[in-house]
Every structure is written in C-alpha cells, then in structure tokens.
Amino acid sequence: MLDVELSNVTLNYGFKNILDGASFQVSSGDKVAIVGDNGTGKTSIFNLISGREKPNSGTVSKRKDASIGFLTQIAPEIKGDITVRDFLRLAFEKLAMAQARLHELELKMGNPNIDPNELERVMKAYGKLQDDFINAGGYEVESNIEKMAGNLKISEYLDQAYNSLSGGQKTIVCLARMLLQQPDILLLDEPTNHLDIPTLSWLESFIKGYPGAVVLVSHDRYFLDKTVNKIFALTDGKIKTYFGNYTAYVEQLKAERELQEQAYVTQQKKISDMEDTIRKNRAWGAQSSEKAYRVAKQLERRIEEMDKVERPKTQKDIALNFNQETRSGNDVLRIDGLSFAYGDDLILCGADLELQYRDKVCLIGKNGCGKSTVLKLVLGQLMPLDGQIALGSNVKIGYLPQQVTFEDENRTILEEFQKHFSGTLTQTYSTLAAFHFYGEEVHKRISALSGGEKVRLKFAELVQNDVNFLILDEPTNHLDVRNREILEEALSNFGGTVLFVSHDRYFINKVANRVVLLEDGSFRNFIGNYDDYLEHTSATPLEGPQEEIGPQRVLKRNYSRDNKKG
C-alpha cells in the first residue's frame, strides 16, 4: 500500500533551490533513510510530508487515512506545568476521551431514575465502547508508558516537570510519546541523538518490527545498517532510490561512480581521437581537399550532439593527518585501583586499566556511568579519591572534549589558529582552507561558529601539534558522514595511541582494536572492535522499566555507608 509519494517536486528558499524535480515513493512497512550532505534538504522533505511546507511545484500525496508522527531535532516547549508522565499520556488522547465517555455512561446507568428503555440503550452503547476500549489497549496505557520509559531510560523523569528537562532529555521524551502513538508513518529526524548504545540497540529492534512506514535521517551508519531497507540519496535537488541498507548503498554508489569514471575516460578518449581527425582533415582541406573539410564538420557536429558523460564529482576533503614525530614509550597509560565519586554517587571503585603504544581503545558504557569523567581524570582535570594514574615516557596528549570550547571565543578563527601555527600568513590561510575555512571566513568570530565548525577548528589545531596520545570524547558529534569517514581513516593511520568515547558503533568498528566497558565502577576489556565485543557479551537491554539493581547499587550503598562512617 502506497503511503507517501513525491512527484517531480521543486522547493526553493529565495534564490536557493533545495529540491529540483525530486520524486520517490514510500509504501507501508518500508524502512527508509534519507541521506545527503548537510543543508541539502533532508529536513525539508520531512516538512513537505508532514504538511508544514508546500512545494513550489509538483505534488506531495499521502494515503488519506494515514496518521503521521514527526520527531524533530529540537523538542517543543509546552505551556503549563505538565509532568513527563502526563506528557506521555497525550499519546493516548483518543483512549482518554473514550475512558471519559465510559465514565459518563457509568453515571447514567447508576441513576436510579433512568427509564428502562434508556438504560438498555446506554448499556448497549457502553458494552460496544468498552469492547473497543479493551481492544485498543485502554487498560494497558499506564503499563505501556512504564515499559517505554524503561526502554528509553527515562523512568526517573516520569514525575518531573517536562519543561525542567534538558533539550536532550526532552527529545527522548518526545521520541517515547511518538513510539507510544504508533502512527502509520514515522518521520524521525536524528532519532539516535542522546541515546546510549543499549538504548540504540532496543530502538533498532523496535523499528525493524514496526508495522508502519519509517522514514528517518541519521548520521549513525550502524543504526541505518540495522534498520533500513531503502535509501533515498539526495544530490543536487534530486533523489535516487537504492535498495538495501546503508552499506549496500555505499557499495552500489561506489560501483556506479567507477562505471561513470570509466565511461567518462572512454568518451574523452574518443572525443580526443575525433578532434585529432578534425585537425588533420582541416589541414588537408586547406591544401586541396574539399571532402576533408566536410568530414571535419561532420565530426564536429557529432561531438556537439554527443550525450556527454559527466566526470563523477569529487568532494574536497579536510586535510586530517595527525603529525606524530615523537614516539611514546610502550607503556602509555596505567590506572591502578582508581576510585572516584560525585558526592555519594560512586563512579569508579578500585578500577584498573592499561594502554600500550598504538592501542586504539574505545570506552563504552551506559549514559551517566562516568566515561567522560574517566577522560578528565586521565587529563588531570579531576582528582581521584584513591588510586594512581601514570602516563608513560614521552607521552604528548591531544584532547578533543565532547563540548568544544575555546579560551576566548571573541577571537576570530585566524587569531585562534595562529596560536598553534607558526607559518606565514599565506601558509596559515592555506592550512585553514584545507579544513574548509575559506577567504574572509577566517575572520569569523569563534562564538558565531556551529558545533561542526568548532570541531573542525579544534582538529586543525590538533594536527599542528606533535601529539602521540589522542583522547577524544564523542569525536563524531557534529560531523557529517563524509567527515566521520575522514576521521576514521586518519585515526586508523595514526601511529600513536587513541583513547576515545563514542556511541557511533560504525566508527568504533572502523577505529578500535580494543573495547573497554565501564560498568559497576570497574573496567572490562574486550579485544577487537564493537562487533567483536558483541560476540563476547549479551548487551541487549531488557524490555520494560530497568531498575538500578545488582552490583552498582551495592557499590553506591557501601560507599555511602563507609563515607558516613569516615
């Protein structure tokens, strides 16, 4: 059954063309990803499907009775003081109305003065409405809310005011409400933001089993591989459909480009040969042969009328190549018996960890378990309660925080970069251009930069320094897919050691040769990448509310008790 169809749609904002004759179809049960560079119009397609925008030309058709749910990247503000639980109950507005109607009918049936004929009519209406209410899960609303809150790790927020939550927490709550609604068509714009790896795994399973159509935008390539069966590739305002998951799309695209490159080279060789023949015939014609002139003109017309093959477009990539002139010793980092707490909340309890030269280690764990805290302890930004942290000989650290900030954000890009680069002004401009800061853009103030621009600037600074130990906290945040691929290649080729935190499982697979799980205050080591880690552990989250039980709770209780005794 066809749910959505775009036919020859154009959309422009002023002089900027976003869509230029775009067409696609979404059928019931399809799981579709829209891919394309930032700013190409992915979110605009969602706005067209949801009716928030109208096309300049072409048609947007939707199945008449299809309901649509749209998860935006920025969660909406809600007027009034409403709890998260009540916000989630809004997913069941029709059931709430039916329940209110049932209550009205109950009051009527309880009226001792009701006419017998009226009573019979009310009882009949009540019975039918109650059957519909039961079949629609009316008596399971609260349990469904509890299960969804558990699966998305928001149980602790249920009785808090919605407006008191952070932006990321609100987005997850909005996702929960949308999944509870179960619309016929789900539009999800970056649904994996703010989710930890176990929650991502649960969401993947949910989407794969979802009976309706799902259209999503995500930079999480692992997530796309696990969920989608169709790709809409958006380029130059047009959409091309590919069948399969993200990896299948990449392989098909690579094969297409290779064929196009071969066809281009072959055609250019043919044109070159024809042009040589034209020159020779013109030379002969100039001497005595009118026939040679005619042959030359015929060949010129053939070249003009030829359907030219375009050379595949190549994107100019950022020049991410970490310098590593000074090698560290074989022992890079040693952590012995490390303990740390925020108040009564014990994060680490006698934890041990070692990193050797050329280790590429990814630190994973649930949100809030203390991954960023570990990095700050290694950097000396926090002091442990107990234990030792020792860096090896000749270790030079380069650090990328999760939220990139600069000492003085009133500086311009040029002023900030010159603190790390000793070349001439011409060389400085050239180096910044290699990180896609061009011309007058280098005079832009850092405070005006986007998250992705700040990350690029920080990487531009890092590669100027002779670092051999990179510590990266969610390095793929704010990076589009192509820049993530560039970072993967740069880290894979890096001759030093890397310790990083990431929820991007595709990125982990490409970079890590060891995965360290932070759980219950200690570290567990797994050789290999994320897929290897999955083979050694069952990391699938449970369905329903997940209480804090087991060793972590015991750790916290013991620490709290011992702390009070001390």
Number of domains comprising the chain: 2
pLDDT of residue 80: 82
Q: How far is CA 200 from CA 172, 195, 224, 341, 512, in A?
A: 12, 6, 11, 27, 19
Exposed e or buried b per residue across 249-272, where buried means at least 16 C-beta atoms within 10 angstroms of its C-beta: bbebbeeeeeeeeeeeeeeeeeee
pLDDT of residue 538: 63
Q: Is residue 278 part of a domain?
A: yes
Yes or no: say if 224 and 481 are a contact pair by the CB < 8 Å rule. Answer: no
Residue with tokens 């004929």: 117
pLDDT of residue 565: 36
- Predicted TM-score (pTM) of this structure: 0.80
The answer on 367 and 260 residing in a single domain is no
Which residues have CB under 8 Å from 310's CB, separation 6+?
A: 260, 264
| Measured distance CA(268)–CA(272) in Å, rounded | 6
pLDDT of residue 153: 92
The answer on 254 and 384 residing in a single domain is no
| Measured distance CA(200)–CA(153) in Å, rounded | 11
Q: Is residue 75 part of a domain?
A: no
Which residues, given as ranges, of the chain have pLDDT below 50? 539-566
Yes or no: say if 9 and 60 are a contact pair by the CB < 8 Å rule. Answer: yes
pLDDT of residue 542: 38
| Measured distance CA(173)–CA(158) in Å, rounded | 9
- Residue 519 belongs to domain with CATH number: 3.40.50.300
The answer on 470 and 554 residing in a single domain is yes
Q: Is residue 50 part of a domain?
A: no
Q: Is residue 402 part of a domain?
A: no
pLDDT of residue 288: 67
The answer on 279 and 389 residing in a single domain is no
The answer on 347 and 296 residing in a single domain is no
The answer on 491 and 381 residing in a single domain is yes
The answer on 515 and 551 residing in a single domain is yes
The answer on 390 and 271 residing in a single domain is no
Q: Is residue 435 part of a domain?
A: no
Residue among 211, 213, 224, 218 nearest 73 (CA):
218
pLDDT of residue 311: 87
Q: Is residue 429 part of a domain?
A: no
pLDDT of residue 94: 86
The answer on 356 and 290 residing in a single domain is no
The answer on 475 and 385 residing in a single domain is yes
Helices (H), 221-245: 221-227
pLDDT of residue 472: 96
Helices (H), 463-537: 481-493, 505-511, 530-536
Domain of residue 390, residue span: 331-396+466-565
Tens of pLDDT along 39-83?
A: 788 999 999 999 999 999 999 999 998 999 999 988 888 888 899
The answer on 382 and 347 residing in a single domain is yes
Q: Is residue 233 part of a domain?
A: no
Q: Is residue 127 part of a domain?
A: no
Q: How far is CA 153 from CA 200, 203, 547, in A?
A: 11, 12, 10
The answer on 295 and 372 residing in a single domain is no
